[in-house]
Structure 1
């Protein structure tokens, strides 16, 4: 388990999806613990939050599976 950051862009598979509908929990065996958006930090974001372009997403999960999120 590790804390890793993932940067979302308009080509990311989770772009425009909510945390819940993106399947991050299942894909990474982890949780989104924070998002940096427009210079602000969102800690423990609600599962209905929708990913936007240039979001920096902090995920605690299986360090081997987190990079698969962007595939």
Structure 2
């Protein structure tokens, strides 16, 4: 399971047939500004949109976090 916390939001994403250990990323309120949207693509990428921060958080299936600012 991959566990992502965005403020008070907790999303669990099952990872099937993956030999590496589970990944836990914690994004607390000091790191995010009003997260309001979460999307997933077919490659296992998770996107979290921030309303006030004007950013998109991009977490790929390998556990790499990238932040895009608007």
Q: TM-score normalised to the size of structure 2?
A: 0.33
Of the two structures, which has the highest relative contact order with CA contacts closer than 8 Å and spacing of 6 or more?
Answer: 1
Q: TM-score normalised to the size of structure 1?
A: 0.33
- Rg larger for: 2
Q: Which has the higher strand share?
A: 2
